[in-house]
Structure 1
């Protein structure tokens, strides 16, 4: 393989390794800017997931709670089963909704010839990771309160989430590049985020779905990661390493293609902003 060909496969991580300080500063700006002016500040990163979980549990717990074997057997509460999936969705949804504006919302940076625009998805990923960590801490505390235990297999959760982070990185490059030209993408992604939630295994197990609709839930890229998260966080099982490896490989290849698309389209960013 030629040197340039080999570089293509390192391209997804190039900005993170060569622009670490810039990525870190942009990540801090993104996290702190989100809560600037709020009386509770960063505490909202803890309060928000708890309020969200309360709403979903109240709305769906009575109807759907008994569908889960873990809940029916008394092994876990519905709030815990649901929260494990909402953590996954929250991570990906934050990236999905932000991605179209990464370039379109930064005209001043785009017009700086020396600014490395390819770093922009990384602060988005790390900021979403920060909020995921906050959600995970709330989850573990709630699990102790409601179920009286925390599984040691929860330590595998970063391994479970890593392939989805690669997929989110691909989404960041692809949608940020396309969003500079097609502003309507920013209107579609919030709706897509909701669809990904309700057409996943977040609310009900796939086993209770009608046969003709199961494929729709199975092809949802979040469903597999949600179930892996439940394995390590709720069921106390080791993750499916083979499945995660295949997911990661697929996400990596998509990220390589998305980065190539970004590089191809970036020459016109300044003209359309």
Structure 2
């Protein structure tokens, strides 16, 4: 699967740039909305979770601390929505590419992932700027964030290959995926610490691909905890299995895309 990325690197850059620009085409703000939307989210989380709910979080005192911890936990979910959330319509939304015999369809999930990484990256940059202003220091642990997010990136890429293929043949897939993604948000520690969940629920939540980047990024950037390398390696290996299976499924079923569309 890595050869897909390396062989079509220029094409992926072009497709991702076009994909990102296309979604804001015709709006007054254009690509500025990519940064404005996270700022609005940050304001909402500050009020709702810093002032109203204030979940029991050890080590958090101020309103701004709650905003930082909640928003950092939401970034992986933003990536999930931009990848798996779009996967059911990924092939059907690019019919012109499917009709071209020479076009490498396997780059489309990569394109979606790179676009999602750009959106999530901008959201993270907004969070980082806010964190520096509040805490008056630059967290050097930011350099380790690619390691934190890599297992989720690989796992969701495999899921995108599988779901994009399935969504081409069955139009109801999108209706099934959306509530599942919504449930995944609440079955991961986005809005509360993992320790609040019952022990049995915690074991289930550890299987959620969102839990690892949420817990590791918070521990690393906010609470001074070290990375859990065995957990990261286990999740990465699992992700490569999902990617291999998803890619194999995509390649096996792609010949029928043009006929279905």
Question: TM-score, normalization: structure 1?
Answer: 0.89
> Against the structure 1 CA distance between its residues 236 and 272, is the aligned structure 2 distance closer, same or farther, given a 3 Å change threshold?
same
Counterpart Cα distance in 1 of 2:13 and 2:30: 20
Partner of 1:117: 105
Q: Map residues 59-98 of structure 1 onto 2, 5 A cutoff.
A: 59-62=48-51, 64-72=53-61, 77-98=65-86
Partner of 2:42: 53
**Structure richer in helix, relative to its length:** 1
Q: Is the 8 A contact 2:154 2:239 kept in 1?
A: yes
SS in 1 for 2:120: helix
Structure 1: give runs of 5+ residues left out of the alignment: 1-11
Q: Is the 8 A contact 1:231 1:237 kept in 2?
A: yes
Tell me the CA shift for residue 218 of structure 1.
3.0
Partner of 1:104: 92
- Residue 160 of structure 2 corresponds to residue 200 of structure 1: no
Tell me the CA shift for residue 75 of structure 1.
11
Partner of 1:146: 134
> Against the structure 1 CA distance between its residues 211 and 239, is the aligned structure 2 distance closer, same or farther, given a 3 Å change threshold?
closer
Counterpart Cα distance in 1 of 2:42 and 2:205: 22
Give the aligned CA root-mean-square deviation in angstroms: 1.8
Counterpart Cα distance in 1 of 2:198 and 2:245: 35
Partner of 1:170: 158
Tell me the CA shift for residue 265 of structure 1.
0.7
Deviates more, 1:81-90 or 1:208-217: 208-217
SS in 1 for 2:91: helix
SS in 1 for 2:218: helix
1:239 to 227, 235, 252: 227
Tell me the CA shift for residue 113 of structure 1.
1.2
SS in 2 for 1:253: helix
Q: Is the 8 A contact 2:75 2:124 kept in 1?
A: yes
Counterpart Cα distance in 2 of 1:254 and 1:212: 24
Runs of 4+ in 1 over 4 A off after TM superposition: none
Q: Map residues 20-39 of structure 1 onto 2, 5 A cutoff.
A: 20-39=9-28
Partner of 2:7: 18
Query: How big is each residue's C-alpha offset from its partner over 1:58-80, in whole Å with a ceiling of 9 and x where there is no partner?
Result: 233345434111214x6970011
SS in 1 for 2:156: helix
Counterpart Cα distance in 2 of 1:156 and 1:236: 13
